[in-house]
Amino acid sequence: MKQILALALVASFVISGCKTNQKTETDMNPFFAEYNTKFNVPPFEEIKVEHFLPAFEKGMELQKAEVEAIINNTEAPSFENTIVALDYTGNLLSEVSSVFFSLKSAHGTDSLLAVAPEILKKLSVHNDDINMNPDLFKRVQEVYTQKNKLDLTTEQSILLEKTYKGFIRSGVNLKGEQAEQLRKINMRLSELSNQFNMNVLAETNAFKLVVDKEEDLAGLPESSIIAAAETAKAMDLEGKWVFTTQKPSMLPFLSYAQNRDLREKLYKGYYMRGNNDNDNDNKNILVELTNLRVEKAHLLGYNSYADFVLEERMAKNADNVYELLEQLWDRAIPVAKKERAEMQKIIDREGSNFKLQSWDWWYYAEKVRQEKYNLDENEIRPYFELSTVRDGAFDLAGKLFGLQFEEIKGDFPKPHPDAQAFEVKEADGSHKGILYMDWHPRATKSQGAWCGAYRKQYRKNGENIPPVVTIVCNFTPAIGDKPALLSFDEVSTLFHEFGHSLHQLLSDCTYNMLSGTSVPRDFVELPSQIMENWAGEPEVMKQFAHHYKTGEVIPDELIKKLKNSGNFNQGFATVEYLAAALLDMNYHTQTKVQDIDPVKFEEDYLKGIGLIPEIISRYKSTYFKHIFGGGYMAGYYSYIWSGVLDADAFEAFKETSLYDQNTAKAYRENILEMGGTEDAMTMYKNFRGREPKIEALLRQRGLD
């Protein structure tokens, strides 16, 4: 319920009585005054861990007062004095939340993580106090019952509908013991999700593969060896080489290291995270999370948690999700089996007496790629220097939407010293927003890549409030005397997250609750995934793929090899993803509380649907943060659902031209600017002129 949750960004206010001639503790907390920074970004360097809890408490106190003012308003409930007023509550809480939770993921120091449990408990109580407030809901309900008489715009109607449904779905109609039970469940869910994430981070940081014999490095590219030596040196293991389960370290090792035993050891270190029967074990946590979600669904009148979640998604129900996933599964499994057979032939031809295993897949897939396409990933990395790829994404946004990106240097607040900051401008030079970019792994950063916002776009009293957006990644860092050189997968990830940032930056909405990425989960990946398509187009690639030493544009021969290998290993990529998406659905379509063994539950289910043993699910249960530590429960399918949309949408450009201005204008106005102010399918049809077709996705993945 975006308008009353802690992460909403709303109108600014000034706390009266804070300014005195003498410095007080209140004055020294940077959250307790208007940000005195350029573009009103958070003053990151001034914010200390001890500032967060008092700021959260003050933010909750102020939002409660704002809510009470709505309830006690003697005027009859109206759209403005109830629905809009509610959307504008909680500014301080939103500001504090956006900084805290962004830093918790991107720079989760021990001291920051230590205060999270108490903050999460207080937020759970606070959110339930508002979401389940019968007096507040009474006013909302009165407005809702008059909706057909109010002459509302589409955006206003959507805001009213989401506000009303948000209360219902939050349990406002529950009474007595049931209401108290839901409150306890919500608090426990918050605690467990936080602990799940902390355990995954701890497990990731705990594992290291130490190599002390140079011969065990055979096959590895020089860049990987140098990076491992630098990692070892940082760990006071000079003279050795250390490989971690961070993907920039792990994937080159799995792809090139000739020592099969070490490949197995490293890969098992990765997929056993959270399943080592130690203090960081996640098995009991994920079982309790699953069962609590079943209980919550039942309290709210649903058979399963998937039923509860999918009601608000494009998919609408689990049957529709399974229909799509199973259709793709039936196409992808035969392709994966062909890939397996090709790799086994190489093993047999080499005279090796073993059967392909999961930790062999990357190594022999790389051999297949070199044999079939004469393409070695190390050939193309020198052309994908991070800053030129980033500038290529900026250039694309300029050609499509007229945007300009200017780096802000010097004394400007940043969430981490490694981050870069850019002012985003329209073609006419007017300010559009701020974009932070934070590229490389560190021990305090969660794995993966994501895009978030320190402030969302919205309007207050006719004034546009511009967004402050952040992209966080874990890309290959600079190694030795070489700059950060990306794999093509990392290039695609950069364009993907940049697409999310454009969704935030180009938002043109009135209400905070509906702006930016406030869309159904299975629609939100459309603006990100469509950008990946441009990254692989030769015309676009030549704009950013320049050799880091010579400046030479990537040769046509290499582009052709990349293009020819575009569907390489797609059986594997699709199957490992679908396995995770189906596993997620299997957890969340459970209709009763049960004491399961999650390892057996996972193994039995995936074996039952025909997953071949040489491929494991992209995320095994014990480190599946999307569904047990994030917001993708009963929603990991969203990437492929949005994949149907993005493949079909990109063909609209292919049917005209990659930079076609009319198509770009239609896409911007009907998708990127709209936020959640219209039904998702309606937005898509307004752009494309029809509903999406799956054929484009099948062609894109070589599954047609």
Residue 74 CB-half CA count within 13 A: 0
Give the separation between CA 346 and CA 352, rounded to whole angstroms.
Answer: 9
Quote the CA–CA distance of 202 and 197 in Å, as a whole number: 9
CA 704 to chain CA centroid, nearest Å: 29
Query: What whole-number distance in Å separates Cα of residue 242 and Cα of residue 230?
Result: 8
What's the number of CA atoms in the CB half-sphere (13 Å) around residue 323? 7
Nearest CA to 580 out of 328, 341, 355 is that of 328
Instruction: Collapse the DSSP code of 611 into the 3-class scheme (helix H, G, I; strand E, B; otherwise coil) and give the result.
Output: coil
Closest CA to 318 of 576, 633, 606: 633
- Cα–chain center distance at 492: 14
Cβ atoms of residues 641 and 314 within 8 Å: yes
**Residue type, position 653, single letter:** F
Strand partners, 385: 485
Closest CA to 393 of 303, 510, 494: 494
Contacts of 160 (CB under 8 A, 6+ apart): 79, 83, 143, 144, 147, 150, 152
Nearest-angstrom CA–CA distance, 325 and 265: 32
Nearest to 67 by CA among 149, 167, 145: 167
| 211/215 Cα distance (integer angstroms) | 9
Name the nearest CA neighbour of 491 among 423, 427, 554, 425.
554
Q: At 26, list the tokens.
A: 């209140």
Residue 487 and residue 494 in contact, taking contact as beta carbons nearer than 8 Å: no
452, 536, 598, 665, 694 from 531: Cα distances, Å: 17, 10, 36, 15, 18
How many other β-carbons are positioned within 10 Å of the β-carbon of residue 238?
Answer: 9
Q: At what angle do helices 638-654 and 680-688 cross, to 10 degrees?
A: 20
Write out the DSSP string of 98-165.
HHHHHHHHHS--HHHHHHHHHHHHHHHHHHHHHHT-HHHHHHHHHHHHTGGGS---HHHHHHHHHHHH
Q: Bridge partners of 469?
A: 435, 453
- What are residue 402's phi and psi, to 5 degrees? 75, 15
> What count of residues does the chain have?
704
CA distance 367 to 373: 10
Residue 214 known to be catalytic: no
Catalytic pick among 339, 385, 497, 651? 497
Residues marked as catalytic: 497
